[in-house]
Structure 1
Amino acid sequence: MSRLFTEDLRIAYGDYDIVKNLNLNIPDEKITAIIGPNGCGKSTVLKTVARILTAKSGTVFLDGKAIMKESTKKIAQKMAILPQSPDAPEGLTVAELVSYGRFPYQKGMGRLKDKDRQVINWALQVTGISGFRDRPVDALSGGQRQRVWIAMALAQETDIILLDEPTTYLDLSHQLEVLELLKYLNEKEKRTIVMVIHDLNHAARFADHIVAMKEGNIVKEGSAEEVMTSSVLRSVFNIDAEIGIDPRTKKPMCLTYDLINRFHATEDMAI
């Protein structure tokens, strides 16, 4: 059994169920990508696993214990969450934001100790942003800002990092920078990475384990070879996809696709 998993998880907004009876196991020391159409429950699941949202029923377990029964600081010492498009307070410097990752280890007035400073410096270095430490976060590019937020998550010294669409609004080179960094953290630091991601080819290229969701349910999970198939993508996204092999990574990739019942979809939009 993995360190992080759910049992019969039910998540709802009011009386509307988003997720029903979800049983999800996150492989240890692997990169897991959660894919699926908009509104299928991907981000909702991630937020519930991170304890940002509360499930109506069912349980999220971390190290054999229900996370809702653990203290916030104890959970924050084991699991970090990077939400979608986070905002830093105006004028906050890079080093100051990264230092927030040390909150779970501080007591009293929360002054930084030598150990905290060492970890902050390491997080800045491993994410390649040491040269920006005194710059305001809001003066950086999108890719640089995303690295700062990842550095803050690393400063928490957690084995598990959850990210909600970490490449949103980034250009192609900055997307690859962030994903290559996550791959490095997984391979070199043995961090368990869980990310919600829209780009199917990025999921296939960088994830060891892919979870495909639709309408709050898991349709298929497994390796890229198991999930990135025409039949799975048809079921999940209602598309007719041509799957090939990436000549560089040898991973499956979506070459092109069409909407199933495209004529009817176009006709409906025209009405």
Structure 2
Amino acid sequence: MYSFFVDPSQIQGNTIIITGNDVKHIKNVLRMKVGEELSVRSGVDEREYRCGIEAMEEEQIVCRLRFVKEEGMELPSKVYLFQGLPKADKMELIIQKAVELGVHEIIPVSAKRAVVKLDEKKAKAKRERWQAIAESAAKQSKRSIVPQVKEVMTMKEAVRYAADIEVRLIPYELAEGMQKTKDIISSLKKEQSVAIFIGPEGGFEESEIGEAVESGIVPVTLGKRILRTETAGFTVLAWIMYQLEE
């Protein structure tokens, strides 16, 4: 079943209005017809609104609510991915798969070893593109919310932003003790917020690791092999999903 996000104001009692780019997508790409069922979410809670298409107008789709499904598709904890900016279009893949794995928010980090350097104009355009990818992935994976892609931050800003997150981890190639990593992951509890810091190609500089450790972020190992920046994030997210998924 196809899934769409609307603003809460578009849910009006038993009537739900779909507007914007989704109108053309429903009409011209999916070629849906009056009477067909679709799924709508507001993005602010975990409720899913199952409704049928009642009318297809030029600039909006009018739907009639059939029933509300209260059980959502979200992890019981909010997971924040602080991702060092990678080369080329890897960030798009990272955002797509991180959303599928249940991440709550993605924070791009302009680390010292990051090859990609974005000025204000490029960063704005990239963020818009990344947010669109997050929304598309959220629809595909039947998420209840659209995870937000934040503005690009420096490492210092990212560490400060993560200050109130309960569990904060930074995979580091010089960290030792896989048992420590296993113990931390296995001890995660529902509703605990979790931050994961992933370096760019080449990893974080020692000064950045030191800055993170000073703020209470815990260095962990992901095993004996060196993982690519995109693989490292997926690995930790998958472990966390396994631990927390009901």
Scaled by the length of structure 1, the TM-score of the pair is 0.23
Greater helix proportion: 1
Scaled by the length of structure 2, the TM-score of the pair is 0.24
